[in-house]
Amino acid sequence: MASRVGLALVERGFQVRHFGATALVQLLQKAKQLYALEKQLLKLDRYNVLVLDDIGYVKRTEAETSVLFELIAHRYERLGMIITSNHPFSDWDQIFPDTTMTVAAIDRLVHHATIVEIEAESYRKKAAQAKLPSASI
């Protein structure tokens, strides 16, 4: 769904960039190690919207979550983000190691957000089950 929203935005003339959350965090970590994090964040500003796919796979290390938080804080009230997660906000303390950072990140993200919560069986699981031969009785 996030990819489709991103595509619809592109069709309307917006600049959109899709990232796996882990890949983007790794990119930002490398920039931070090279003392170029601010430059990388400014480079990402050319995109009206960043789509971060599956933030739940970001590891709970301070190095990873600090750059993720810096991205969220940098874009807050300026540019858009679409974030997918298989974790409800109540479980985001599994993503961010610090409760204060968790609350601050969620606060910035939900302030102007439209939240879509999908409670359904996994599409991938359904597709895989459909491919299985039916059991004969």
Q: Which amino acid would we find at residue 46? A: R
Question: How many distinct structural domains can be found in the chain?
Answer: 1
Whether 79 is in a domain gets the answer: yes
Contacts of 40 (CB under 8 A, 6+ apart): 27, 28, 31
Whether 10 is in a domain gets the answer: yes
Q: How confident is the model over 113-127, as a mean pLDDT?
A: 77
Position 102 pLDDT exceeds 90? no
Partner residues linked to 19 by β-bridges: 52
Q: What is the pLDDT of residues 70-97, one digit of tens each?
A: 999 999 999 999 999 888 888 888 888 8
Look at residues 58, 64, 56, 49 and name the one whose alpha carbon lies nearest to residue 18. 49
Whether 20 is in a domain gets the answer: yes
- Taking the C-alpha atoms of residue 130 and residue 82, their distance in angstroms, rounded to an integer, is 30
Whether 119 is in a domain gets the answer: yes
Looking at residue 122, its pLDDT comes to 67
What domain range is 33 assigned to? Answer: 2-131
Q: What is the pLDDT of residues 46-72, one digit of tens each?
A: 999 999 999 887 776 788 888 999 999
Whether 58 is in a domain gets the answer: yes
Average pLDDT along the chain: 88
Residue 35 in 3-state DSSP? coil
Looking at residue 119, its pLDDT comes to 79
Is this prediction's pTM over 0.85?
A: no
Sign of the C-alpha dihedral computed for residues 61, 117, 44 and 103 taken in this order: negative
Whether 6 is in a domain gets the answer: yes
Residue 109 in 3-state DSSP? helix
Whether 137 is in a domain gets the answer: no
Looking at residue 135, its pLDDT comes to 52
CATH of the domain at 57: 3.40.50.300
Contacts of 45 (CB under 8 A, 6+ apart): 75, 78, 79
Q: How confident is the model over 15-29, as a mean pLDDT?
A: 93
Whether 136 is in a domain gets the answer: no
